[in-house]
Each structure stands twice: as C-alpha cells, then as structure tokens.
Structure 1
Amino acid sequence: MSAQAAASFEPSPNNMEAFWMPFTANRQFKSKPRLFVSAENMHYTTIEGRKVLDATAGLWCCNAGHGRKKITEAVSKQIANLDYAPAFQMGHPAAFQLASRLAAMMPGDLDHVFFTNSGSESVDTALKMAIAYHRAKGQGTRQRLIGRERGYHGVGFGGISVGGIVSNRKVFGSLLNGVDHLPHTFNLKEQAFSRGQPAWGAHLADELERIVTLHDASNIAAVIVEPVAGSTGVLLPPQGYLQKLRQICDKHGILLIFDEVITGFGRLGKSFATEYFGVQPDIVTSAKGLTSGTIPMGCVWVRKGIYDAFMDSAAENMIELFHGYTYSAHPVACAAALATLDIYKDEDLFNRANELAPYWEEALHGLKGTKNVIDLRNLGMIGAIELEPIPGKPTARAFDAFLKCYEKGLLIRTTGDIIALSPPLIAEKSHIDQIFDILSGVLKTLD
C-alpha cells in the first residue's frame, strides 16, 4: 500500500466490518484496529507510520525476514511468464526442481514430496496418506490415528481431530472417529525454567504402549506430533521422548508423522527437527518457512517405501492417489520457494540461527524473577514466557502484554497466558536486545 493509499484508509468499523478475521477477537480489534501497511527485513510499518520489530516472524513463517528482493523478483518474473499450470495430469519444471531440492534436505529415504497450500492441508494430506498406505499394503484395518493433547495440526477436520487444543475442537461436533491422544509433555513442577529440552518426561512416550494395548496395533495407522509444540505455547520434547516414540512405532508397524510446519526451515538451528533430534519419521508436514510466508504453500515428505506402495498397488495407467489441490505446486509459489531456499543457503541462515541460539537463550532467561513470570523455555530460535493467569480472567494478562508491546514497537504472539517468540532468522543481537528490553519493561507494568 502506498503512503497516499494508507493515509486515505479510514480504519473505522464501517470500513472493516465485512472481514471476519481468523483467530481474532473481532469486536475488540475493530474497535481499535492494528494495521500494517509495509514490511522490510525485521520490521513492519503501521498505518500510522510507526516501525514495529517483528519478534514472531509474522506467524512463525517469515524465517528469511520481510521484503526480500530475491523472492519478490522471482515471483514477479514467474507470474509474468507462467501464472498458473494445472497439477492434475500436467506439470511445469519448477515443481520438479523444487521437489528435488526439498527431498535432498531430508535424511534417509524421505525422498518424495507432495505439494499443498498450507500446514492444515499438509496435515490432512499426511493423515490420508497414512491410512491409504496401510490399505495398499493389505492392512486396511489400520485406520486409527493418534494425536497429542495440546497439539496443533491446523484447522481441517483431520487436523483438529488429532489436535488437542480444546478451544479449536469444542464447538465443531464429533470430528473424526477413531482418534486417541497421547498426554502432552509439559509439567510446570518438573520442568520450570528448563534451558532446552527438559530432563523429565521421556516416560510419557510409554503412553503409546497403553493405547496400543487398548486398540491393538493392527488397528492403528499413525501417530502425529509436533517435535516442538508451538501454537499451544512452546512445549519442548523431554530428552529421549521422540526417540521412544520412534521405537514404539517401529515395534508395532505404526507410521510416525512429524508436523514441522513451525520447526522446519531453520527454526531450531538445523534444517528440520528431524535433523536436530536425530529422529527420522515416516512422513513430515511443512508450510510457513517454505516460502518465508510470501506465498501460501505447504508440502509433505514421505519415505520411499510409502511412495512405492502406492505405485505398486495401482495399474500403470491409473491414478495412484485420489487426492490433491487446484493449487498444488502453483508456479508462483514454486518460484517463491526456490528463491527462499536460495536465501537460506546463500546466507547460511540455519547455521546463523544455531549460532544465535545461546545468545537468545541467555536473553530469554534473563527475565527469570520478573513479576508474574512462572516459566521460561527455549529451543533454537523459539522462546516462551509463561505468565501467572489473573484469577477468573484467563488470557487477559498476556493479551495486555501483547497490546502494550505493540504500542512500544514490538510484535509478540500470545496463546493463553503464554508469550511465544520466534523472530526471523536474520535477526541481529541488537534486535534480540531490543526484544527483551521492551518485554522486560512491559512485564513490570502488568497487574
């Protein structure tokens, strides 16, 4: 939006009422709107012309920062050359190029890629693949899916069924049948103020054995977890927990799905959580950082054996998987993703995040002892500040912090009474200092 256009926009309810905003208190927002009109590198610019430091990478997605010329030029060139190409029975070169590059980023035989348009679509794609895979292998009774309490896997019916955030589930009916949940991995008493992975809690993975005993492995298709649960407030996997899940899944022939929509593309200081933790799942979902948030796009990696099972179960001239999206491997999204991968590689952003992580950790844990702070937790370039809730007013204290930070030029994200932080990977130490200077000041003012 140009400065002239921004100045002519009247942020009144009359202008704003038509848009039903997602995951937003619409009435509160429209009474006093917060509008961005431009962004560059680490900052947004508001409609009033104020600079706001982005401590959330947009929405966990702008890992390469904002307004990156390489990406915008690639998108502009692509849209002028090939604006759209159908993905059903047709293709375009960039889709195959991107898939090859993404496959090369994953360990082992996670070497086939299916394109989606969001994390929600990636999750529903992965769940469908898991069930259909077992059917292709002659094990059609394996239909049950296992998620985790406090898990977030997007907003499709599959994703909210395996997800475990109450507010995302409670008003949408019975959801999918045949879904169970593991307990979440957070325990404030045992884990408070952990630096990195907490030492307590690996035994929680053993709950999967209880679920297997209840239903029998022959009825279970897959377990899906976020390696680090992000949207629920940054819940870290205890030491050895993910390794245990992998072992139990192997023992019972259950597929393990990692939802890496947040942890993918450098957020932990490695390419993906599967590299960071040294645990290889059977399916990986992603989105967000794939294009650094510039164009909606997601993807799903599967192991070679899963892909081969589909190829082997259908006649050569038949469709092997009746699933896909109009915009799968959209040419413009592919161009954005390829340019984004170039930036990650050329600027060594994953390693940069790894090198910044200790500084980030020290800055975050410097808030210990601040009024109302009951926990601090971190991993890679992710952090969380958990606040003591106001009795009878859950979420109010954190949302007050959100509003005050915004007024002071800092964008944070809140979930419940937890402040979640995940800055772009281009952040400098001075940006980290500014983030925690503002936060420290704001936290001291909260009731």
Structure 2
Amino acid sequence: MSSEHLFHKWGAGVAPDLPRIERAYDEFLLTDDGEELLDAAAGAAVANLGHSVPDVADVVAEQTERVSYLSLSHFTHAPAEALAERVADLAPGDLDTVFLTGSGSEANEAAFKLAHAYHRSRGAPGKHKVVSRWQAYHGSTLGALAASGNTTRRVPFDAMLPAWPHIGPAYPYRWGYEGTPEEQARAAAGELETTIEQEGPETVAAFVAEPVGGASIPAARPHPAYYEEVRRICDEYDVLLIADEVMTGFGRTGSMFAVEHYDVVPDLLVVGKGLSAGYAPISGVVVRESVAEPFRAGGAGSFPHGHTYAGNPVAAAVAGHVVERYTPDLLATGRERGETIRAELEPLDSHPMVGEIRHTGAMIGVEFVADRETKEPFDPDLHVYERVYDAAMERGVYTYPGRGSVDGVAGDHVMLAPPLNVSEESAERIGRSVVESVEAVAEDVL
C-alpha cells in the first residue's frame, strides 16, 4: 500500500515519509515495521483515555445492531439523550442543554450561529460579530477560521473570511502591562471592552476564548481576574461568552473543564476531542439555560442549523461510554502524571533555549527562545519546533509541535498532552526525552 491516492494536507498523493500505524494500545503506537512510539500528545490531545479502551468495540457493535443512523431533525434516540444529560450534569453552573455536532470546527460554527440566533430572537439581529483573540485556534471551517488568530492557517484563505475583530492573546509570559498579575490580567481583558465599543455593541454577538491556551500557545493560563473581567464586560454589553474547550475539556487541565479554574460560567461551552476520546467523531455546544430559553417550545422559533451526522447513534453511544470513565480518580491521575512530566523537565528551567514551561493538569507547553533575557523568538526559517519534534521522534516519543505563538509566524513550542492515564514510567520517559531533544537541537541553533 501507498498514499498515492490519498489527498493529504500536503497535496494529492504527496506526503512526508509518515509512519504507518498498524495498531495502538494504552499510550503506545505500533508501526508496520515494528517500532513502538510513545504517544505524548494523545494524538492531537484527543485520546484522553489512551488507545484501545476495553469494551468500546462492544458498544459500537451493540449500537450498530440496534440503529446506526438517524437524523436528529426528524427523530430522537436514547444514546443522544443520555449523553446530553450526562454532559449537562458534568458542566458547571446552568449549562444544561447540549447541541450535538461532529467535530470541533463544527461545534464552534454552531456556537457562533447560535449566538447570533439568540440575539436575533430577542430583537437584535445586528449583533452578529464574534470577537476572538490572536494566537488562538478554533477550527478550520470558514467561520471557525475567521475567529482563529493563527496567522499561518488564516492567510491562505483570508479573502474568504469574515472580517471579525481580534484582541491580544491571554499570554502572561509576553504581556507588556505593568503591575501585579491581577492588574495585568484586568488590563488585558480591557482590550475586549475597547474593541466592543469600537465595533459598536449593537454589532457584537459573542466573544470566544480558550480558557487555557491550546495548540497556538499551549497551556497559557491568565490570572483568574482575566475571566472575571471578561464575564463582567460580556454581561454589560449583552455579549455571549463562548468557552472553546474542544481541547481542554474532560480532564485535560486537571479539572473536568478548564473554566472551573476561574469560577466563571460561560454562556456556551464548546466540547469535542475528549468527548469520545477519539473513538468516534462527535462534538457539541453546551448551552446555558438563559440562552436556550428563546428556543424552547413557545419561544421565538427553532435554530435553523444542523449536520448530517450530528448526534449519530453510534458516536453518541460511544461518547456516553467514554464520558462515564472521567472519574475523580482519573482526573487525579492526569494531574499526577502532569506533575511527573513537569518534574522531569526541570533541567530545562534554566536552559538558554527555553523561555517558559507552562503546566496545568496533563497539559504542558515548552516555549523556545533565541534569547532568554529578551524573550526573542528564533528565526522562523530555523524551524526549531520541527527540529525538537524530530529529535523526540528519534527517541521514540511523539509530541505536538507548533509555531507562531509570538506574532502568528515567529515563536516555536512543543505541547505535551498524553493520555490522562499514561503510566508513571512513560510520563518520566516523556520528560527525559524532551530534555534530551532540546539539548540536542540547542547544539545546532544556539
């Protein structure tokens, strides 16, 4: 077999020499030539429970025999209802209804449309813009990409994107504000108020943010005052707060949802990835009672949006099975393994190539710099993020590399986001391998 007929992101029938994975179990990926790779990224921060979880195949087989497909536009079914009830139980505050979709991008699109539909139902159809942040990623479909602040992903399709406004990222390491962490956080959040006023409050429907930085600025986490101020601003200007937890939800940051670190309840909570832990394509938007109310029976009308595979019975059954495994013990294990990896990374705390190591739960970001004192990033042409990734792969460890954290182009980093139940031994190996990889790359770039 070859990839000749497979249209990769690199082009039709064109791809790097990618490993071909034949099998996976726990935190390991087995290639067709017998190599065993340690998955320190849970795929794309998806496989929160590891690979080949027992009983999932049985759930798929049983549900497929019962009913494998239904359109939620015309029918309802037990797996979707049970999943929605369970997710609503887990979500904070009065986030208690769930609109199901298929992917993280689709879920964010649905959240944006729902925000506009909500305002329209209340007599404010002009509120349609979504404010977001630079150096954030919300998906690859056009609306989600318009809200994203990832320059390299946006530029090729810029002419097709709505001109929605962006504010600066929640990035304490590179904030230029004066004062205490709390004062800096409130000043950064103030950009949202300024932008809403400049755009015109009557035009702004929502503000979307990753509570903890994902692929663009992994594990970046502001002082809680940031989201306290954001919540105040959104309430004052009648703007819905959307928390994009596609990557951070279901235990990734140590709590069930990352917003719980701030004691703030968003109006819409976007979930994906960990919802099924990679066993089926499914995502959703968890909706606050006050936002759902206009769409209830006797309200202003329906929400004219949906997808063919939204709430697919098989995917919903699998997700329901997975979600039951997010116990307090599992979340505690994820936090412990994150601590183990962070401890192994300690030799990098003073390394000349490392600007900052960010850590929350089982999510760690290591940012690389050419100069620790000035925080100057490396020349993008050096591809430092790829070099560290390659060095780790040579040591049998698969990580999640990234670039553009500083200005959308410059800024190299690597994210570590293994399964929450990764073994202690593997956690130690992940940390050691990254240290060795950074030291090896530093010999060439410093």
What TM-score does the superposition give when structure 1 sets the normalisation length?
0.89
CA contact (8 A) 1:234 1:420 kept: yes
1:200-236 deviation line (CA, Å, top 9, x unaligned)? 5442000011112212322211000011121103152
Matched with 1:304 is 289
Number of residues of Structure 1 aligned to a counterpart in Structure 2: 423
How far the C-alpha of 1:395 sits from its partner, in A, is 5.8
Matched with 1:361 is 342
Q: Secondary structure at the match of 2:68?
A: coil
Alignment partner of 2:316 out of 318, 334, 359: 334
CA contact (8 A) 2:8 2:15 kept: no
Greater shift in the superposed pair: 56-65 or 70-79: 70-79
1:134-183 deviation line (CA, Å, top 9, x unaligned)? 00011112112101101100011111111111111112133443511111
Matched with 1:164 is 149
Counterpart code for 1:339: H
Q: State the distance in 2 between where 1:35 and 1:291 align.
A: 23
1:35-87 deviation line (CA, Å, top 9, x unaligned)? 21110001010111111111001111000110001222211221222221222
Q: Secondary structure at the match of 2:159?
A: coil
Matched with 1:144 is 129
Matched with 1:387 is 368
1:415 partnered with 2:402 = yes
CA RMSD of aligned residues (A): 2.3
Q: State the distance in 2 between where 1:189 and 1:58 align.
A: 28
Q: State the distance in 2 between where 1:213 and 1:393 align.
A: 35
1:68 partnered with 2:53 = yes
CA contact (8 A) 2:3 2:13 kept: no
Matched with 2:64 is 79
Q: State the distance in 1 between where 2:207 and 2:190 align.
A: 13
Matched with 1:12 is none
1:222 partnered with 2:206 = yes
How far the C-alpha of 1:378 sits from its partner, in A, is 1.3
CA contact (8 A) 1:290 1:337 kept: yes
Gap regions ≥5 residues in structure 1: 1-8, 10-14, 192-196
Q: Secondary structure at the match of 2:44?
A: helix
1:108 partnered with 2:93 = yes
Q: State the distance in 2 between where 1:175 and 1:380 align.
A: 37
What TM-score does the superposition give when structure 2 sets the normalisation length?
0.89
Change (3 A) 1:189 1:147: closer
Gap regions ≥5 residues in structure 2: 371-376, 404-411
Q: State the distance in 2 between where 1:17 and 1:146 align.
A: 41
Counterpart code for 2:305: H
CA contact (8 A) 2:46 2:278 kept: yes
1:112-153 deviation line (CA, Å, top 9, x unaligned)? 101000000000000000001000011112112101101100
Percent identity over the alignment?
A: 29
1:327-366 deviation line (CA, Å, top 9, x unaligned)? 1111110111011112223x73123223444334333344
Alignment partner of 2:354 out of 367, 370, 373: 373
Q: Secondary structure at the match of 1:170?
A: helix
Structural mapping, 1:175-214, within 5 Å: 175-177=160-162, 179-186=164-171, 188=173, 200-214=184-198
How far the C-alpha of 1:392 sits from its partner, in A, is 4.6
CA contact (8 A) 1:38 1:46 kept: yes
CA contact (8 A) 2:342 2:431 kept: no
Q: State the distance in 2 between where 1:256 and 1:100 align.
A: 22
